[in-house]
Amino acid sequence: METNSSETCPLYIAGTWRTAPKHPVLPVHNPSRGSVIGGVPMCGAAEVEEAVAAARAAFPAWRDTPPNERAQVFFRLKILLEEAFEELCLGISIEHGKTLSESRGDLRRGIEVVEFACGIPTLLMGESLENIARGIDCHTDRHPLGVVAGICPFNFPALVPMWMWPVAIACGNTFILKPSEKVPLTMQRVIGLLEKAGLPPGVMNIVHGGRECVDAILEHPDVQAVSFVGSTPVAREIHRKGTSHGKRVQAAGGAKNFIILMPDADVDRTVEAVKDGAFGCAGERCMAGSTAVAVGEAADRLLPALADLVSSMKVGPTDVKSSQPDMGAVISSEHKSRVSSLIDAGEAAGAHVLTDGRAVRVDDAPDGYYLGPTLIDHVAPDNPLMETEVFGPVLAVMRATSLDEAIVEANKQAFGNGAAIFTNSGKAAREFRRQVSAGMVGINVAVPAPLAYFPFTGWNDSFFGDLHIQGKEGVEFYTKRKTTTTRWFSFGDGEVWAK
C-alpha cells in the first residue's frame, strides 16, 4: 500500500477499481510541503448511476446474508486495520497535515466504529410481546433501507467516513461513498482492506467529485438515505434537497464551541486541556473549543499560563515518522489565508493578540500551509471572529462577569455542537449542563466527542435531521422497522396436533 502515490484516485464500482478518464482532475496536496501527491476525478451523474446500479444489484444478496455473517467481515477488517495501522496513519498525516498522534486518534476512533459494527446481530434485535390480545402476538424487527450514501468532509479522513459505512453495511445496506476531494486517499486504502476482508462486490462503492456528483446522489430515486458531514451551509442544503427527493437525511454541519473557564478551575490541567481542545488538529475539528469565556478572575488565573503554553508549541511537517511537531499544517493555502484574514479582522475590531500565529515560519518546509497557534483576548460579542466558524488554530477569548452571562454568550451562537466548562463546582457544572444550548457537553473535558457507542448529538445549526450519526441512533437511521401481528386460528387436522 503506497502512502505517497501521485496517481489519480480510481473509482470503486461493483468490486472493480477503475479510472474515470473523462473528467477534470483536482490535485490532492500534502499540506506539510505544499506539494501535489495525487489527483481526484470530478465525476458526475454517469458514475453515480453506475455506482447506484452496482449497489442496487448487490443489495438482495447482502440483505439476505445473516447478520452474524455480515459481522464476520468487520471482525476480519478490524484485524487488517490493526496490521496496517501505522502505515494508514502516516498516510492520513501526509494528505491532511495533522500530526501522527492525531492521525492515530482519527483512525482509532474509526476502528471503534468497526468494533461496534461487529456487534450488529445484537444491535439489530427486535422487540416482541406475546398475547397482546387473546391468541395474538406482536413483534417488530429491523430491515435495511437499500442503497444508502455518505458524503464526507476533509478534517477526519478516516473517522468521519467510518462513522457511516461500517454501521450502514453491517445493517444490510449497500453503500455509495463520496470522500472529501481534499483527502480521498485514506478511504481508498481502507476500502481496499474492506475488499480483502471479503465484502462482496457492489456492497461498497466509491465515487469522487464535488457538487455535481453530490447532486446526482441526492436526486437519484434509488438512493434511500444520505449521511452528510461538512459545513453548515452545505449541510442545510443537502438536508433540504435530499428530503425533498424523499430520502432520509442526517446532515452534520459546522460549529463554534464555547469553553467556559470558571475562577475555581484547576489551573494546570485546565490550561493543558484548553490548549489541546483549541489547537489539536490545528483547530480543524467540529468539536474544537474555539471560544473561551473567562468568568471573573479566571482570566487573571488562567490566561498567562495558557499564553505561555501556547507560545511554546512547535509547528512543522507531519509527513515523517521522526520528530513530530505539536501542530501540523492547515488543509490548504486558501484556508490559511482565510484564517489569517479573520485574525486581522478580529484584531482590527479591537481584540488583543496574545500569541500570533500569522507569521510563523517553518524553515524545513517553507511551502507548507502553516499557521501558528493564535490566542486572541478581549474579543467582543460583535467582533467579526464571532460571526463565523474559523476552523483553524485560533482561540478567541471573551470576558464575562458571571456564569449566567457566559452561558448567554454561548447560547447566542447559531451552532450547537459542543460546549465545555472547567470548574471545581458541581453546582456550576450542573447549571451549565442544563442551560447550555449544545448537544455535546464537557465537564472539565475540552473536546466532549462521544465514542462509537454513543450518538454524535449536535444541535441547532450543527445538525439537520432527526437521527444522529453513530451509536444506536446510527442503527436506527440505517434501518426501518416492520411490526408483525400474528394470530393462528386452529391446530392442524388430526390427532398429532390436538392437545
In the complex, the residues that contact ligand NAD under the rule CB under 6 A are 151-156, 160, 178, 180-181, 210-211, 214, 229-231, 234, 252-255, 286, 389, 391, 417, 456, 458, 462
Please, which residues have CB within 8 angstroms of residue 222's CB and are 6 or more apart in sequence?
52, 56, 146, 147
Q: How far is the CB of 335 from ligand NAD (least distance, A)?
A: 8
In angstroms, rounded to a whole number, what is the distance separating the alpha carbons of residues 270 and 9?
43
HSE-up (13 A, CA, CB side) for residue 188? 28
Q: How far is the CB of 207 from ligand NAD (least distance, A)?
A: 11
Instruction: Please identify, using beta-carbon distances, which residue of 99 and 180 lies nearer to ligand NAD.
Output: 180
In angstroms, rounded to a whole number, what is the distance separating the alpha carbons of residues 92 and 79?
19
Instruction: Please identify, using beta-carbon distances, which residue of 149 and 376 lies nearer to ligand NAD.
Output: 149
In angstroms, rounded to a whole number, what is the distance separating the alpha carbons of residues 156 and 185?
12
Instruction: Please identify, using beta-carbon distances, which residue of 214 and 354 lies nearer to ligand NAD.
Output: 214
Residues 372 and 313: beta-carbon distance below 8 Å: yes
Instruction: Please identify, using beta-carbon distances, which residue of 120 and 287 lies nearer to ligand NAD.
Output: 287
Distances from the Cα of 174 to the Cα of 57, 107, 116, 150, 306, angstroms: 9, 22, 18, 11, 48
Q: How far is the CB of 223 from ligand NAD (least distance, A)?
A: 14
Q: Is 150 helix (H, G, I), strand (E, B) or coil?
A: strand
> Cell 477488517 sits at which residue?
77
Please, which residues have CB within 8 angstroms of residue 141's CB and are 6 or more apart in sequence?
124, 126, 481, 482, 484
Q: How far is the CB of 461 from ligand NAD (least distance, A)?
A: 10
Instruction: Please identify, using beta-carbon distances, which residue of 253 and 372 lies nearer to ligand NAD.
Output: 253
Q: How far is the CB of 360 from ligand NAD (least distance, A)?
A: 22
Q: Which helix (H) or strand (E) holds 425?
A: none
Q: How far is the CB of 329 from ligand NAD (least distance, A)?
A: 15
Burial of 163-189, coded b for 16+ CB within 10 Å and e otherwise, reads bbbbbbbbbbbbbbbbbbbbbbbbbbb
In angstroms, rounded to a whole number, what is the distance separating the alpha carbons of residues 30 and 38?
9
Local structure of residue 462 (DSSP, 8 states) = G
Q: Which three cell numbers stand for residue 53?
A: 446500479
Position with the least CB separation from ligand NAD: 230
Backbone angles phi, psi at 3, to 5 degrees: -105, -10
Instruction: Please identify, using beta-carbon distances, which residue of 215 and 266 lies nearer to ligand NAD.
Output: 215
Q: How far is the CB of 200 from ligand NAD (least distance, A)?
A: 26
Instruction: Please identify, using beta-carbon distances, which residue of 62 and 165 lies nearer to ligand NAD.
Output: 165
Instruction: Please identify, using beta-carbon distances, which residue of 84 and 395 lies nearer to ligand NAD.
Output: 395
Cβ-based burial of 263 (10 A; exposed 0-12, middle 13-18, buried ≥19) = middle
In angstroms, rounded to a whole number, what is the distance separating the alpha carbons of residues 273 and 178?
34
From the candidates 43, 152, 171, 286, give the one annotated as an active-site residue.
286
Q: How far is the CB of 175 from ligand NAD (least distance, A)?
A: 15
Local structure of residue 309 (DSSP, 8 states) = H
* Residue 9 falls in the annotated catalytic set: no
Catalogue the active-site residues.
286
